[in-house]
Amino acid sequence: MKTPFISSALGIILLAFGGIILLPAAVAVIDHDYRSTTPFLIASCTSFAFGLICRWHGRFCRNFDTMRRTEGLLIVTLTWIVAAAIGAIPYVFFGLNPLDAYFEAVSGFTTTGATILIDFSLYPKSFFFWRSLSQWLGGMGIIVLFVAILPQFGVAGRKIFFAEAPGPTEEKITPRIAHTAKALWLIYLLLTLLEIVCLTAAGMPLFDAVCNSFSTMAAGGFSPHPQSIMGYQSSAITWIVTIFMFLSGANFALQYKLFLRGKSRPLFTNDEFQFYLGIVVVSSLFLSIILYSLQGGTAANSIRDGLFQIVSIITTTGFSSVDFALWTVAAQTTLFAMMYVGACAGSAGGGIKVVRILFAFKFLKREIDQIVHPRAILPIKIDRVTVQDDVQRQMLSFLLFYICLMIGSGLVVTMIEQDALIGFVGTAATIGNIGPGFGEIGPMGTFGNLHPLTKAIFILDMIVGRLELIPFLAMLCPEFWTFSRNDQR
């Protein structure tokens, strides 16, 4: 692995990032809150300074064409870790301790939406804007953004693009990766703008509409309102957010084809989308019935909250329209099951991903069929195409690693916190980038009172979950860590 490549690439990203972090400062200026600009200016300067140091260390290397896969994985991982660190700087200035600040920043960038904040009234608007903006950036992927806007990456863009979103299939809408990244960001941006317009029309203040839209499209879950979407007390807003959350959990490449090219077939004939739609419809119906019969309340509200909460959890957004930590165990278990599914591949959401769950079901069905017909050739087909053996193996091992990590992290946190609910639900909520769990860490609760070690484990869970395990797994291999400063190979 060549250090100049890594530091130089990281340098470029830091320089660009230094520019982006000035946006909340602009919001502070518009808000006439000039004192709040300082934390963002300092963060920006730090980012520029580190960026230049990295560039210098990397000898201002501009050609990344010979980048290897391992280098790509490391660059992606470091980008997320460092970006979150820079993003945490303003929080420190607003009075959070460094670990909490980092937790909040990671929770933002990984679109988890787990918060350590307790009292929302202490912070200025620019603070909440930055929380939501960080989610919006993380939603489509920081790397995807830089591949789209920075021409330097060229060929290497392809490697880091797929390292960031290592879904089971490599999907490109256009032949060139930079164009694909631009197209994805375009549809992402357009949907966000549309949601801002809808929410404003439904009576939400503009600032809240912008922040909530950023969090919705990113499947994030940070809201400037301490009571999340429930705080706005409006059915119209709840329905609008439900729709956009649903879209944020669907494959953006297919939505690009639908909305910008007018081709509806690719989305609606997509097996994963159909399965996603099926899960949402069936489980929200189930949940609505539970809510109506056990929880009391009107039918309309039961359906609204059932659907909202299912979509919110399955897309890994983590918004709440009611405090589901107070629901019956049956309703909570339904939501917990959704935590394991996650959104579609190629969406803003996290989790295991619908396509892997779909594959797992088909895999099990195949094993059963094979018992009856031992000589039959039974391929596993997704989207009418047979899943290749190496992809099959990769998906199965992903599931296995996911379960291992989930159990491991869950056990350790349970020991630290003396509470199995926090241990396992918290782990599921952070690895899946969902956000709120049940009980103390529920939607109206906070992660702020947890043990520092738990927070550190959750930070790791969030990053590993966002990068879909693969970069993390690669780093467990000792050979990954062989560095050289040599330019020749």
Q: Which residues contribute to the site for another protein (CB under 8 A)? A: 373, 375-379, 381, 384-386
Q: Is 380 left (phi over 0), alpha (psi -120 to 50) or beta?
A: beta
Q: In terms of CB distance, is 376 or 477 closer to another protein?
A: 376
Which of 32/373 has CB closer to another protein? 373
Name the residue nearer to another protein (CB basis): 379 or 408. Answer: 379
Q: What is the smallest separation between the CB atom of 45 and another protein, expressed in angstroms? A: 57
Q: In 3D, which of 243, 230, 456, 247 has the Cα closest to residue 347? A: 247
Task: State the nearest-atom distance from the C-beta of 345 to another protein, in Å.
Answer: 21
299 vs 303: CA distance, rounded Å:
6
Place of tokens 């929770």: 107
For residue 127, give every residue at least 6 positions away whose Cβ sits within 8 Å of its Cβ, in sequence order, or none.
24, 36, 90, 91, 94
Coil/strand/helix, residue 216: helix
Tokens encoding 349: 């959401």
Nearer of residues 385 and 404 to another protein, judged by Cβ: 385
SS3 assignment, position 106:
helix
Complex with another protein: residue 43 or 387, whichever CB lies closer:
387
377/477 with CB nearer another protein: 377
Nearer to another protein, 35 or 375 (CB): 375
Q: How far is the CB of 216 from another protein (least distance, A)?
A: 38
Which DSSP string corresponds to 24-89? Answer: HHHHHHHTT-GGGHHHHHHHHHHHHHHHHHHHHHTTT----TT--HHHHHHHHHHHHHHHHHHHHH
The pair of structure tokens assigned to 10 is 């990281």
What's the CA angle centered on 258, arms 254 and 261, to 5 degrees?
Answer: 110
Question: What's the min distance (Å) between Cβ of 384 and another protein?
Answer: 8
